Amino acid sequence: MQSLINSAGRIKALALLLTLAASLAFPAQTHDLPFGPWTRASNEPILSPKGTTWESAGSFNPATVIHNGKIAMLYRAQDASGTSRLGYAESSDGIHFTRRPEPVLSPETDYEKGGGVEDPRLQEFGHIYYHTYTGYNKKDAQLCLATSLDLIHWERKGVILPAYKGNWNKGWTKSGAIVPEKIDGKYWMYWLGTAADKTDQMGLSYSTDLIHWTEATETPVLPRRPGMFDSRVVEPGPPPILTDWGIVLIYNGADDNLVYRTAVAVFDRRDPRKLISRSDAPIFAPEKKWEKAGQVPNVVFVEGMVATRSAEDVAGRWDYFLFYYGAADKYVGVAEARVTRPLTDAAHAAGKDCRTSGPDGFICPWRRP
């Protein structure tokens, strides 16, 4: 798979009018999904621990966007002492990545020192990249925000969802997945909190400036389900795909044995609080040895997503989504899923002008809020 044509931030305009992905474990009456079954695009890790310093213990949990015609990746890197930093890598084909030799974000503040900066998600608004991440100081883990124009130089905005606060959250906050457009004049973000029963469940907040957030529900917007694959943890994955009919959120679920698998929830396009449908079974799970053995066993943890096309597709159609995931808290892997209707058709239906741009060919601008 070669030339890239879109980013997670552009997926909204590209995802209209997509047809049913029947292989996903959803009730028959639910809305269509924008992709079919997932398969591994590489049977081996695409990033592994490296060297003896800042990424010697793990290179995992990636966030991705398209930047300057390439897939840009922020990934969590961990040293032998357990401190996390964020590395930067980029790729022209989605599989082979070149890393910068030094981290682009390292722990500096009181809410980061000791544990580090962890588990990024990326969203773009108005040519500014908004990066949610976990700041961990060995005592508290809290959801934080930083911004950048180039993905290399970051300006911290501080803790945006403090630990131990909220309508139902009693513990740490993590994993902010921001919806790619405003809805009802507000930005929306799905996130992870800890309920009174010590399980990790999903919350929802809104904002007018992406810095100050207000909780949108009195209870978890996506609760755990006892006895199922997401009985212990329900955690947002990459930023959602926004379609004309719904908000498609990939999430990471863990059972009582803390085996992490991937699932999908769909929320109402006009009301992000309203759940429409949800996976009855995982769509992706640990299978490879390197997904089952590492710093934390039996984990696939999706945080990054982009849309691409295959090299053999001379018509310039968007063929695939690439999903980037952490494996066993040690490696980065990538899965792919075929788009269930050519995205050029969807872009045309949305009234977007597509253009040719450099060696990466067919690019369709994202409709910004």
Here the tokens at position 11 are 């997926």
pLDDT band at 244 (very low <50, low <70, confident <90, very high): confident
* Each residue's pLDDT tens digit, 71-84: 999 999 999 999 99
pLDDT at 160 over 90: yes
What pLDDT is recorded for position 25?
38
Helix (H) or strand (E) segment spanning residue 188: strand 187-194
Number of Cβ atoms within 10 Å of the Cβ of 153: 11
Taking a C-beta distance cutoff of 8 angstroms, is the pair 203, 217 a contact?
yes
Per DSSP (E only), the strands in 84-166 are 84-91, 98-99, 116-125, 128-136, 141-148, 155-161
- Give residue 34's pLDDT: 81
pLDDT of 87:
98
What global pTM score does this model have?
Answer: 0.85
The residue with greater pLDDT, 171 or 315, is 171
Instruction: Collect all residues with Cβ–Cβ distance below 8 Å to 205 and sequence separation of at least 6.
Output: 161, 188, 189, 191, 213, 214, 215, 216
347 sits in which H/E element: helix 343-349
Give the residue carrying structure tokens 């490879």. 288
How far apart (Å, rounded) are the C-alpha atoms in residues 318 and 340?
10
Q: Which residue has the tokens 């990326």?
A: 122
Q: Are 101 and 152 in contact (CB under 8 A)?
A: no
Question: Quick check: 29 pLDDT over 80?
Answer: no
Query: CA separation (Å) from 154 to 55, 67, 68, 173, 291?
Result: 20, 15, 18, 21, 31
**What residues form DSSP beta bridges with 260?**
254, 299
What was the pLDDT predicted at 2? 38
Average pLDDT of the chain to the nearest whole number: 85
| DSSP secondary structure letters along 260-315 | EEEEEEEEESS-TT-EEEE-SS-SB---SHHHHSSSSSSBEEEEEEEEE--TT-TT
pLDDT at position 319 = 73
Instruction: State the DSSP H helix or E strand holding residue 234, giving kind and residue range, or none if neither.
Output: strand 233-236
Q: Is the pLDDT of residue 332 over 50?
A: yes
Output the pLDDT for position 242: 85
pLDDT of residue 20: 30
Residue 177 phi, psi (nearest 5): -110, 110
More confident residue, 191 or 309: 191
